[in-house]
Amino acid sequence: MYDYYLGGKDNFAVDREASDQLSLAAPGTQALAVNNRRYLQRAVRVLAEQFGVRQFLDHGSGLPTQDNVHQIAQQVHPASRVVYIDNDPIVLAHGRALLADNATTTVITADMRDTDGVMSHPDVEKLIDFDEPVAALFVSVLHCVPDSDDPGALVRRVMDRLAPGSFIVVSHLVSDDDPVRERLTDFMLTATQGNWGRVRRTDEVTAFFDGLELLEPGLGEISAWRPDGRPAPVQESAEWIEFGGVARKS
């Protein structure tokens, strides 16, 4: 669905149908998806260029699509190391085919909630030096984690394992309107047969960053995070947004 919204070719008829239905239920979803991808690109570029980060763990990466993490990071530092983490075997097969000639980027099949399993995975241990700073990416994925699995605890586990000077990048679907949150959450739970989390409030997502040093401009709607001059698509509805920011572990 995400690839379809971004104008890619790696999607199926069922993805296109579900995306069109989601756009009817939640106007502006495609603009939100484009803005989210551009936010990811800006965050990776800022961390690589301004903070010298050369290691990236992309949790819940999905199918590789246009201008992905490794492409941005390796434009800045060609030796940058990137691991994409997803629980879908199709992502593994497709990603490894695309990355066959890239020795410093890989895809692993794992449940991102299993922090120990991810960090002890042989392919992760081969590429990532956990004694050096790492950027942990949770871009438009934590709303897929139900409360029973505690996405805030997941973020804390990951950051506890990373070296000082590491970063976290988060974007998350939020709404402070109770009926909107319930309607969109119910829609996505139905569409995914219960394999989803929920749209959360801004204060709930803000709590994910407790104890970390936020980079300017702090937390907010992601198209406003260090804009690069490209006009941002206008989301038709402001009732729900992608909210997030970037923070550093001291």
**Of 49 and 101, which is predicted with more confidence?**
49
What is the tens place of the pLDDT at every residue in 109-138? 999 999 999 999 999 999 999 999 999 999
Mean pLDDT of 70-86: 96
Pair type for strands 220-221 and 135-139: unpaired
Between strands 55-59 and 81-86, the pairing is: parallel
User: pLDDT at position 151, please?
Assistant: 98
pLDDT at position 236 over 70:
no
**Residue in this structure with the two tokens 């069109």, named with its chain if needed:** 20
Percentage of the chain beyond pLDDT 70 is: 96
pLDDT (mean) for 134-148: 97
Give the DSSP H or E segment for 135: strand 135-139
- pTM check: above 0.85: yes
Tens of pLDDT, residues 24-77: 877 778 888 889 999 999 999 999 999 999 999 999 988 666 689 999 999 999
14-32 tens-digit pLDDT: 888 988 887 887 777 888 8
Q: Determine contact, residues 186/245, Cβ cutoff 8 Å.
A: no
Q: Please give the pLDDT value at position 235.
A: 67
Superfamily of domain 2-248: Vaccinia Virus protein VP39 (3.40.50.150)
**Residues whose CB falls within 8 Å of the CB of residue 114, separated by 6 or more in sequence, listed in order:** none
Indicate if the pLDDT at residue 149 is higher than 90.
yes
Whether residue 195 is predicted with pLDDT greater than 70 in this model: the reply is: yes
Residue 37 CB contacts under 8 Å (≥ 6 apart), including other chains:
2, 6, 65, 66, 67
- Written as six digits, the tokens of 6 are 């971004």
The reported pLDDT for the residue numbered 82 is 96
Q: What is the per-residue pLDDT for 218?
A: 98
Q: Give the residue-averaged pLDDT of 150-176.
A: 97
